[in-house]
Chain A
Amino acid sequence: KQEVTQIPAALSVPEGENLVLNCSFTDSAIYNLQWFRQDPGKGLTSLLLIQSSQREQTSGRLNASLDKSSGRSTLYIAASQPGDSATYLCAVLRGSARQLTFGSGTQLTVLP
């Protein structure tokens, strides 16, 4: 059974700081890994998708990496802004399954 863990559960940083969110998964046989953002009471917004054959993806100030062999992914946010405050979720799609398995998320607060 695939398990996804996100550390830390919560993070508070001053504006302008670069930060890293961590995601680990137990089964390395994955098709892809997706990072999402969720604002309070809202749905999920897809940020980045990394296919299993890729090692990283970039979008603006966001960079996500994937190391399948060690079962880890990181989301790097450069020059954080208060508008980045949200919960960040990672999810993996296993080769043998059709649905995403999610971590519990990291709640990020960027202080002005």
Chain B
Amino acid sequence: DTGVSQNPRHKITKRGQNVTFRCDPISEHNRLYWYRQTLGQGPEFLTYFQNEAQLEKSRLLSDRFSAERPKGSFSTLEIQRTEQGDSAMYLCASSLMGLMNTEAFFGQGTRLTVV
């Protein structure tokens, strides 16, 4: 499978616990994005990497959230001290930077439920 891969697919955690999600982008893609989607809404941008550099962060990304992309390959998104409001689908996407911005491909997402 050469698409964007996300793990785990589902995560149930107790409030206050830390969780970490992983995203493996399409191998030649140098751009990687994290989005969050709640029920009935479109995805909202969280953060963006170009290679290993985190170039942009949304105001939605509070200080409890941290994302990394070591060596410009896979990425992790960690949420510390989870709250019930963090329950959502977390989506990762990748694309290839070119002369014109190119098509973004999404993974299957990680569904987080905070109880």
**Given known A98-B56, A99-B33, contact A105–B42 (CB-CB < 8 A):** yes
Tally of A-B Cβ pairs under 8 angstroms: 60
Q: Which residue of the partner chain, among B43, B48, B101, contacts A44 with CB atoms under 8 Å?
A: B43
Q: Is the interface of A mostly helix, strand, loop or mixed?
A: strand
**Given known A31-B100, A98-B55, contact A36–B106 (CB-CB < 8 A):** yes
Closest to B34 in A: A99
Q: How far is the CA of A34 from the CA of B45 in the complex (A)?
A: 15
- A42 located at the interface, meaning its Cβ lies under 8 Å from any Cβ of chain B in the complex: yes
CB distance from A85 to the nearest CB of B (A): 16
Q: In the complex, what residues of B have CB within 8 A of residue A4's CB?
A: 42
Q: Which residue of the partner chain, among B4, B41, B103, contacts A49 with CB atoms under 8 Å?
A: B103
Is there an interface contact between B41 and A104, defined as CB atoms closer than 8 Å?
yes
- A51 located at the interface, meaning its Cβ lies under 8 Å from any Cβ of chain B in the complex: yes
Q: In the complex, what residues of A have CB within 8 A of residue B105's CB?
A: 46
Closest to A9 in B: B40
Q: Which residue of the partner chain, among A46, A49, A104, contacts B42 with CB atoms under 8 Å?
A: A104
For chain A, the count of residues having a C-beta within 8 Å of the partner chain is 24
Is there an interface contact between B42 and A31, defined as CB atoms closer than 8 Å?
no
Q: Which residues of B contact A (CB under 8 A)?
A: 4, 6, 31, 33, 40-45, 48, 50, 55-56, 91, 93, 100-109, 111
Closest to A31 in B: B101
**Given known A31-B100, A98-B56, A99-B56, contact A43–B42 (CB-CB < 8 A):** no
Is there an interface contact between A100 and B111, defined as CB atoms closer than 8 Å?
no
Q: In the complex, what residues of B have CB within 8 A of residue A93's CB?
A: 101
Per-residue CB proximity of A88-112 to B under 8 Å, as 1/0? Answer: 0101010000111111110000000
Is there an interface contact between A43 and B55, defined as CB atoms closer than 8 Å?
no
Max chain A Cβ within 10 angstroms of own Cβ: one of B31, B42, B103: B42
Is there an interface contact between B107 and A43, defined as CB atoms closer than 8 Å?
yes
Closest to B49 in A: A98
CB distance from A103 to the nearest CB of B (A): 5
